[in-house]
Amino acid sequence: MKLFLGIDGGQSETAALIGDETGRVLGHGEAGPCNHAAAAEGRAKLERAISDSVAWACAQAGLDPEAVEFEAACCGMSGGPDDKEGILADLLRARKLVVTTDAAIALAGATSNGQGIIVIAGTGSIAMGRDGQGRTARAGGWGYVLGDEGGAFDIARQAVRAALRMEEGWGPATALVPLLLEATGSRSASQLLHQLYGAEWPRPRAARLAPLVDQAAEEGDAVAASILNGAAQDLATLAAAVRGQLWTAAEAVEVAHIGGVFESRRVLERFRMLVELEPRNRSIPPLHSPAEGALREAWRMAGIDAWPGE
C-alpha cells in the first residue's frame, strides 16, 4: 500500500493527514505550532510538532511511525519553506517531498480545481492566487513588523492603540478599554502596553484579544466597528492585488477565505461585499482544510487526482 502525507504547519498548530493511493484518509494528527526554525528553540519546536502530529496520524492509521515511508509528502509551512526544507527532509521518509507555503496548501484545498484566490487571515494575513496556466502570485504576508494587515494580531494591536489614545486624551471613548483591561488583568492601558512588550504575551496570545473587538462592535462601539471594517478592507485589497496580477477583468475568479478573523460576522460580510464589487468575482468558503489541500498536493505528485474523504 502506497502512503501519502499532507502537513499544515501553522502559527497556532500543526496538522498531519495520511492517505493511501485510493484517495482514502487513514489517519489525522495534531500538535503544536511550528512557524519558526532559525533559532535552536524554534528548530526543536518544529521537530516536535512535525514528529508528534505524524505520530498521532500514524497511530490512528495503525502504522508504525518509526517504519512508515511515504510515496509523497507535501508540507505547507507558515513563515515559508526556506529554513525548514532540510529539517523536514531529515524527519520524514518520503520518496518525493515538497515543502511550500501555508498559503499554497490552503489554496489547493479551497477550490474545486486548485485555482483562484485564497485570503488567509489568522494571526497574520496573506493572499495567494493560481490561474489556469499554473502561474502564481501573492500579496501581503510580510510579517507583523511591516504587514499582516487584517490579521488578528493587527486587529488586537489597533484595539490597544485605541485604548492608549483614549487614556491619554487624544482619542475617542471606546468600550474596548474595560474589555482589554479585564482580559489581560491590567489596571490601565499603559500597563497593558508594557505587558504586550513582555515575553508572556507573544503574538499568538495577543492575537487572541481580537474577538474582544468583535464583541465591542456587536454591542455598538464605533471604534471597534471601524477597526473591523478596516480589516475587511485590507483583506479585500489583498485579493484585488492578486487578481490584478493574474487575471483580466473579463475572467471569472473564485475568492476563498480562511482563518479565525473571518469568524467575525462583520468582517466576513464586509469582505464578501467588497470582493464581489468586482462583477466577475465569487466569494466562497473553502471546500477543504489546508491539511487536506496538502494531502491533495501529495496525491497529485503521484498523478492521483482525489479529494480527501470523497
The burial of 91, by beta-carbon neighbours within 10 Å (0-12 exposed, 13-18 middle, 19 or more buried), is given as middle
Q: What parts of the chain have a pLDDT lower than 70? A: 35-41, 309-310
SS3 state at 15: strand
Q: Per-domain residue ranges for the chain?
A: 3-111+288-301, 115-285
Instruction: Determine the residue type at 24.
Output: R
3-111+288-301 and 115-285 share one fold? yes
Q: How far, in Å, are 28, 125, 160, 210, 285 from residue 234 at the CA level?
A: 34, 10, 19, 16, 18
- Other beta carbons within 10 angstroms of residue 24's beta carbon come to 13
Q: Which phi and psi angles does 305 have, rounded to 5°?
A: -105, 100
Q: How far, in Å, are 152, 235, 277 from residue 261 at the CA level?
A: 6, 10, 21
pLDDT at 144: 78
The burial of 136, by beta-carbon neighbours within 10 Å (0-12 exposed, 13-18 middle, 19 or more buried), is given as middle
- Kindly report the pTM of this predicted structure: 0.86
What's the topology of domain 3-111+288-301? Nucleotidyltransferase; domain 5 (3.30.420)
The burial of 276, by beta-carbon neighbours within 10 Å (0-12 exposed, 13-18 middle, 19 or more buried), is given as middle
115-285 has which CATH code? 3.30.420.40
CB-based contact 307:296 (threshold 8 Å):
yes
